[in-house]
Amino acid sequence: MKKAVFPGSFDPITIGHLDIVERGMKIFDEIIIAIGHNTDKKYMFSKEKRVDFVERTFSTYDKIKIESYEGLTVDFCKKNNTEFIIRGLRNHADFEFEKSIALANREMTGIETIFFLTSTENSFISSSIVRELIRNRGNYELFIPKGITL
């Protein structure tokens, strides 16, 4: 069974995240969406709310498990017997940042990172943009999965 972890803060989940997971499901038998806690980030939504958003988004998907975690993603992967990490790339800056992390993870543990390029129509979407739209009463609903109410 090929399992992968898709880690992130999902603050909030976007249609870009949904797109990456749906494409990952074509390759992996199971994907664990791992909602992490980054001590350097100030979240708009509580961990419980972020987990709820992700659970509602993927409630009908058989291959998806949802968990929250703290600490290193590779430790979470080892604990869950997972050899792959999924990451989405929107642009070259994402690639440079993610490449360094992926190389360090592979060197430390042998865990491979699989990169998915975002769909052209989702390449500009980020949780940061969605949070800014929420703060300023913009039309954020265009960029989050259907059924999520903030």
Q: In this structure, is residue 91 part of a structural domain?
A: yes
Q: In this structure, is residue 148 part of a structural domain?
A: no
Residue pLDDT, tens place only, 94-116: 999 999 999 999 999 999 999 99
Integer Rg of the chain from CA: 15
Marked catalytic residue, from 41, 46, 79, 100: 41
Q: In this structure, is residue 76 part of a structural domain?
A: yes
pLDDT at residue 149, as a whole number: 83
- State yes or no: is 87 an active-site residue: no
Q: How far apart, in Å, do the first and last CA atoms of the chain sit?
A: 35
Cα gap 88→109, rounded to integer Å = 21
Contact 42, 56 (CB under 8 A): no
Residue 91 tokens, joined: 């642009």
20 Cβ contact list (under 8 Å, min separation 6): 6, 86, 88, 116, 118
Q: Say which CATH number the domain at 118 has.
A: 3.40.50.620
30-37, strands of its sheet edge to edge: 64-70, 30-37, 3-8, 84-89, 112-117
Q: In this structure, is residue 149 part of a structural domain?
A: no
Among candidates 15, 40, 33, which has minimal Cα distance to 130? 15
Q: Residue length, the chain?
A: 150
Please give the chain's pLDDT, 150 residues, in tens. Answer: 899 999 999 999 999 999 999 999 999 999 999 999 988 889 999 999 999 999 999 999 999 999 999 999 999 999 999 999 999 999 889 999 999 999 999 999 999 999 999 999 988 999 999 999 999 999 999 999 998 887
Residue pLDDT, tens place only, 19-28: 999 999 999 9
Q: In this structure, is residue 60 part of a structural domain?
A: yes
84-89 vs 3-8, strand pairing mode: parallel
Marked catalytic residue, from 3, 56, 90, 99: 90
- State yes or no: is 127 an active-site residue: yes
- State yes or no: is 126 an active-site residue: no
Q: In this structure, is residue 133 part of a structural domain?
A: yes
Query: What is the domain range of residue 123?
Result: 3-143
- State yes or no: is 99 an active-site residue: no
Q: In this structure, is residue 150 part of a structural domain?
A: no
Q: In this structure, is residue 15 part of a structural domain?
A: yes
Cα maximum dimension of the chain: 44
The count of domains in the chain is 1
